[in-house]
A and B are shown apart, each in its own frame.
Chain A
Amino acid sequence: QVQLQESGPGLVKPSQTLSLTCTVSGGSISSGDYYWSWIRQPPGKGLEWIGYIYYSGSTYYNPSLKSRVTISVDTSKNQFSLKLSSVTAADTAVYYCAREGAYYGSGSYYWFDPWGQGTLVTVSS
């Protein structure tokens, strides 16, 4: 059973870079069957997809965050990471990592399962 766990600082100063790591257990990032995503949720608000990475290193980012986001992967450690630069208070959120699946056919669909438990990152001086 695949499990994901986020880790990283819970407090980041404005204008600095937020850095988080997601450790995957119970399965290999390198299997190639899935993408590995970051999703965030500001307190009391909805979900926002940040981006994904494939084990090969290919990435795709939310256009609204693309200029500030970098997602990387370390297959030797079975981890993938998020960096978000130039943070402001608007980046305060619970950050989740999740495994992203996709089905391509006459009716394509995508899903996130499982999710990590989430980690709250507060941007404040």
Chain B
Amino acid sequence: SSELTQDPAVSVALGQTVRITCQGDSLRSYYATWYQQKPGQAPVLVIYGKNNRPSGIPDRFSGSTSGNTASLTITGAQAEDEADYYCNSRDSSGDHKVFGTGTKVTVL
């Protein structure tokens, strides 16, 4: 079974840029999808596919992939971006889905 590894926590100054990474072998075959989760709430889809944002997601969120690493970049982080972020993809060996370990983003 594939694993998706994320840094446990990152911090960013208000208005600055932060990049969250997700590493895993399955990312060589499938794009990652990214979710934002605030305390006590369900996850919300923020990036899917190569770099697609659902309606209502600010354009300061963007995604990219290189090799076995997917990245979520927040350009000009806002206080409301403070949350946990999870990547997600399909396992390389079957149709089951896997989530990353999660990254807590703190906006200073």
Chain A contact residues, CB within 8 Å of chain B: 37, 39, 46-49, 51, 60-64, 96, 100, 103, 107-113, 115-118
Q: Would A107 and B96 be within 8 Å (CB), given that A46-B101, A113-B45 are in contact?
A: no
* B98 interface hit (Cβ, 8 Å): yes
Main secondary structure of the interface of A (DSSP, over half): strand
Report the Cα distance A62→B94, complex, angstroms. Answer: 9
Q: Is the CB of B45 within 8 A of A110?
A: no
The smallest beta-carbon distance between A20 and chain B, in angstroms, is 15
Q: Is the CB of B89 within 8 A of A110?
A: yes
Report the Cα distance A118→B88, complex, angstroms. Answer: 18
List A contacts of B94 (CB < 8 A).
Answer: 60, 63
List B contacts of A103 (CB < 8 A).
Answer: 49
Give the number of residue pairs across the A-B interface with Cβ within 8 Å. 73
Q: Is the CB of A112 within 8 A of B43?
A: yes
- Give a binary string over B43-70; 1 marks a CB under 8 Å from any A CB, 0 the rest: 1110011100010000000000000000
Q: Is the CB of B42 within 8 A of A96?
A: yes
The smallest beta-carbon distance between B27 and chain A, in angstroms, is 10
Contact of B33 among A51, A60, A96, A111 (CB under 8 A): A111
List A contacts of B101 (CB < 8 A).
Answer: 46
What 3 A-B pairs have minimum CB-CB distances, sorted nearest first? A109-B31, A113-B45, A115-B42
Contact of B30 among A37, A96, A108, A117 (CB under 8 A): A108
Report the Cα distance A10→B29, complex, angstroms. Answer: 39
List B contacts of A63 (CB < 8 A).
Answer: 1, 94, 96
| Residues 64-108 of B at the A interface (beta carbon under 8 Å) | 86, 88-90, 94-102
Q: Across the two chains, which residue of chain B brings its CB closest to A37?
A: B97
The smallest beta-carbon distance between B57 and chain A, in angstroms, is 11
List B contacts of A117 (CB < 8 A).
Answer: 42
Report the Cα distance A110→B94, complex, angstroms. Answer: 13
